[in-house]
Amino acid sequence: MDYVQRIDALPEQPLRASEAFFSRYLASSKAMASEAGVTSLTIVVPSAASSHDDWRRGVVRDLAREYRPVRINMIGASEQGKLEKMLAYLRNAPGVTGQYLAAHD
């Protein structure tokens, strides 16, 4: 089973966005990753400046390590077309896990 967790809005400031993710969404990400039969989880967050990259890479890397063999990745995309292409890529790349992919909308 493959899950896509969509997070529609986060604050523009990196520290506030990180705090919001950890306080509002981390528990649900963990719950999805730990369900029986789950093979992958892709967390979709809105596009953001590169100043958000570090916290996004860190959280997805750590989730992937903790919940292996479940593949966990994160996509930063606001434009639907780019998001769909990235989701398709991940569906066809079974060795990719722990990665943050930024669409640069």
| Cis preceding linkage at 69, omega within 30 | yes
CB atoms within 10 A of CB 20: 15
The rounded distance, in Å, linking the Cα atoms of 92 and 77 is: 19
Residue 80 has pLDDT above 70, yes or no: yes
Residue 105: what pLDDT?
Answer: 63
pLDDT of 78 > 70? The answer is yes
pLDDT tens column, 85-95: 999 999 999 99
Q: Which residue has the tokens 């930024």?
A: 102
Q: Is the pTM of this model over 0.85?
A: yes
Q: Which among 66, 67, 73 is positioned nearest to 90, based on CA atoms?
A: 73
pLDDT digits (tens, 9 = 90+) for 22-77: 999 999 999 999 999 999 999 999 999 999 999 999 999 999 999 999 999 999 99
Q: How far apart are CA 35 and CA 87, in angstroms?
A: 21
Given this model, what pLDDT does residue 104 score? 78
Residue 20 pLDDT > 90: yes
**Rounded Cα distance, 84 and 75, in Å:** 10
Q: How far is CA 60 from CA 13, 81, in A?
A: 19, 23
